[in-house]
Every structure is written in structure tokens, then in C-alpha cells.
Amino acid sequence: MAAKGSKYARKHLKEISEEKKPDTEDTFLDVIYDDISYLETFDALSLDNQIKAYKVLKALSEMYPTTAEERTLASISQHKMNSINMRAGLEIAQNPHYAMSADELHVIRMDCYGCVDARRPHLLSPYYNHFSKNKLSKPLPPENYNLETAPSWKIFRQFKSFRDIENKLKEYMAHQRLNPEMLKIISVQDFSDIIFNAFKQNAKDKKAIFAPSKRNQFVKDIAREKGDELSAIMQAQGVDKRYINSLLNAMKHFGITDANRVIVTEPYFTKRVLTDLKRAKIPCEEYNIGDPVPQALVDELIYADKGYLLVAREKNGTILDKTNFPSFEVHHKVAVSESGRLGHISKVNYRRNFLLVSSKLHIEVLHAFDKLSKTQSAETYQRRLEFTDPSAAFMYGFRKENQIQLNWQDTPEEKKIEEEDEKYLVSYDEVSHELQENRTPNNKANEQSIDVKIVIEYIRNKHRSKRG
């Protein structure tokens, strides 16, 4: 059967490649033709051609066959792709249904990036709008704002980053003369607005940073702990050493992984660099052409937004072209939408669940099999490509020598955070039920509750604004 499938592939794909070759490097087609040593053939390809071969195999395996030959080709392609995945430590997982609410997904992403965007008015509840307009006549002490009475805050406090800012939020609410009674009935989005306003630097800000980015901290940690290995892997792929050094520096200091944001600097003083430094009145008399550029000087100039004075150039004097340099993305090994699998949703943003991966692999491979089930209020992955090794931390190719493993799960720091987080575990259904109960009118038949009053006021104001 293998020979038959190979013959069909050879005939069919040869016709396609003769009509129009996708580019001059079509060696990736050898993986399709070869049914015996295809893994060795695949390993010998460049990363770009590996991705091309992988995408063709995926397309062939998923085609709707109309003949016996096509069924054979689809079956062989599926087998090849599964073998490549297995060698790379990947598997196509059919996930159980762990639907996450939109509120939980929002809070998880805030925790991951340590920031929040300005909330659009339509996201805020009428209850919050009511209390924002009808403030107290005089401020109350911050300790009057008991966040334990707030059902929605229980979603936030599952994460250490939000527990750490509770005092700041209490001070902000006290300063704003907000009524503490609102805590019992406001929503997750309302709390996000409070966080944004408490931490924004000025009135025109569209985003507010409230905690260090866990995504960026992961990048810094892996660059500091595995910098030599990262460098060796990229050098073996032929990446310019000047870019590698600059990328690792940007990762260690800023968590930057995008080639477009990296300032590629010269590792040694050149005539051009020394001239530019002198013009900028940067002391450099002690240095000569060919001397190594001290890392301290690189850091000093980059922090002062003067890294351009050290920018790397080609022999003809043009600035180094970064077009073909690799960028990287931070990937959640267990998807944010699947956080419920972990027992505690805060674990999805632990270092051990992050993976630094080539941007090309991230989109073209790791998310190639995504099948997302999404409703208005929740979403979950039904199918996704996942790692078989929980310690996987870096991926720059399918071969194991282009990957790095790190076991952060057993570190004292990680264990301590996990133990603390588990004290605040809560289910979204419990929170929703408690919030609804707090908003439900009292059982007195003729008494109109504050809940109803606020909603009626909100609807009336909305209609007035439309007529106006």
C-alpha cells in the first residue's frame, strides 16, 4: 500500500510542481515522495521547508478522498505527520469540555500581561454606573471596603497579582467616595474599570499597568537561565551572532522577543560606532577599533534610548537587515480556554505552562489543529496540538536538539505560590449564584429593591441619550 500511495503522490505532486513551483527551494516535497526514510529527509530540511512539508502533509491527511489511491495517500500522510509530531514531543489532543467563562478568560489575560485596557462603557453594569454617579458626601476609611463581601472579586483574588493590589484599590475607592455597598453587586468588568482608573498614569491613557507581566518575566527567566543553550541552537541554524546577542539582551532586560523591536548592536567597536559616540558626546576615549563593546555600555545606551549609536551594519555601511531574523512568541501549553483542566485557573500563567517558540512554528504548527468551541459567554478547545513533555520550555524546530526543557514545577518559589493560590479557589458558578442573590429583590411584595431602581434608572437614561 505504501508503494501505491507513494506512486500516486509522485505522479500527482510532480504535475503540480512542474506547473508552478512555490519557490526555488522545493526540497520539502521529498518528504511527501519518500515513504521509507521520510523522517531523516524531514530532519535535513531547513525550518521553513519543514513547515512547508508539515502543512502539505496536514492538507493531504485532511482532504476528502474520492478514490482508493487518494484514501491511501491521506492515510500515509496522516501517519507521517503523526510520526513527526511524536518525534517532536507533540500530540493532537481531543480535549474534554472545560468551558471557561468570558469573565475568567478576561481575568487570566490581565494576570498574564499585568495590564488592563480602558473599559468601554457598554461593558460596565448599571449598578456600577449608579454608584459612580451617586457618591458619598464624605470619604470613608479604606478599611471600610471589605473585598471579601464582593463575589466578583473572588475571581480576581485567585491570582497573587490581584491580591497584591487590594490595598491600593481600597485607597482608590475611598478617595473616590464610592459606596462600599456596591462591592456586593458589581461585576468583573466593573472591577477591571476600578483597577484601570486606580493605576492609569494620566487621563489620556488607554492602558494601565498594575503588575509585572508574567509573560515577560518568563522570557527574562529563560534567557538568564538558558541563554547559552538558546544561543547555540540559533547559531546552529545560521542566525547572525550579532542578532542573537542583541536578542538575548533584549529578552533578559525587557522580555522582548520580536525581531522588529530588537536593536541589533555591534559586539566590537568599529570606526563608525566610535565616530557616532564622539558626536553624541559619549565618553569613549579608552576604546579602540576592534575592542569588545562592554555590556554595561550597551545597557546604558539602550535604557537611554540611544542604542542606535551602536547599531550593527553591513560591510557597505547599511543597517543590518532584520527581515529574516527569527522572532519568538510565548505559548500557553495548556490553553487559557482550558484552564479548568489544571484544577486551579491561576496555574495557566505559571512559568511551567509557558513555552517560548519560533513565531513561524507558533502559528503554522502549534495552532494548526485548533478547533475552538465558542459561545457568547464561554469558550473551550475541542482539539489542539499539545506537548507530551510538561517540562518543554523552548522550541525552535521539530528536532529535540532544537528544544529546551526546564522543570520549574518543583522550585520552592513555584510551590509556595501554588499553595497560597489554592486557598482562594472558587468556582464561577458559585460566584454567579452569590452575585445574583445579592442583586435579587427582597421578599417584601410591595417594596421595590435598589436592584430594580438602578436598572430602571439605567434604561431611562439610555433612552434619553438616544432621543437626544
Question: Reduced to 3 states, what is the DSSP secondary structure of residue 404?
Answer: strand
Reported as type and span, the H/E element at residue 354 is strand 354-358
**Cα separation, 51 vs 364, whole angstroms:** 7
User: Residue 93's pLDDT is what?
Assistant: 84
Q: What is the pLDDT of residues 303-348, one digit of tens each?
A: 999 999 999 999 888 998 898 899 999 999 998 988 888 989 999 9
Q: Do residues 211 and 165 touch, judged by C-beta distance below 8 A?
A: yes
Cross-strand partners of 373? 380
User: Residue 451's pLDDT is what?
Assistant: 64
**Cα separation, 190 vs 103, whole angstroms:** 11
Q: What is the pLDDT of residues 116-128, one digit of tens each?
A: 999 999 999 999 9
Residues 6 or more apart in contact with residue 411 via CB below 8 angstroms: none
Q: What is the pLDDT of residues 365-400, one digit of tens each?
A: 999 888 766 666 566 667 789 999 999 999 999 999
Q: What is the end-to-end Cα distance of the chain in Å, rounded?
A: 74
Q: At what angle do helices 214-236 and 102-113 cross, to 10 degrees?
A: 70
**Cα separation, 32 vs 42, whole angstroms:** 10
User: Residue 440's pLDDT is what?
Assistant: 84
pLDDT means per 10 residues in the chain (468 residues)?
44 44 65 91 91 94 91 94 94 76 95 97 94 94 96 97 98 97 97 98 94 97 96 94 95 94 94 95 94 94 93 90 93 90 93 96 91 64 85 95 91 90 94 92 50 67 60
Reported as type and span, the H/E element at residue 331 is strand 328-332
User: Residue 16's pLDDT is what?
Assistant: 41
CA-wise closest residue to 132 among 181, 177, 187: 177
User: Residue 449's pLDDT is what?
Assistant: 53
In DSSP notation, 433-447 reads HHHHHHHSPPS-TTP
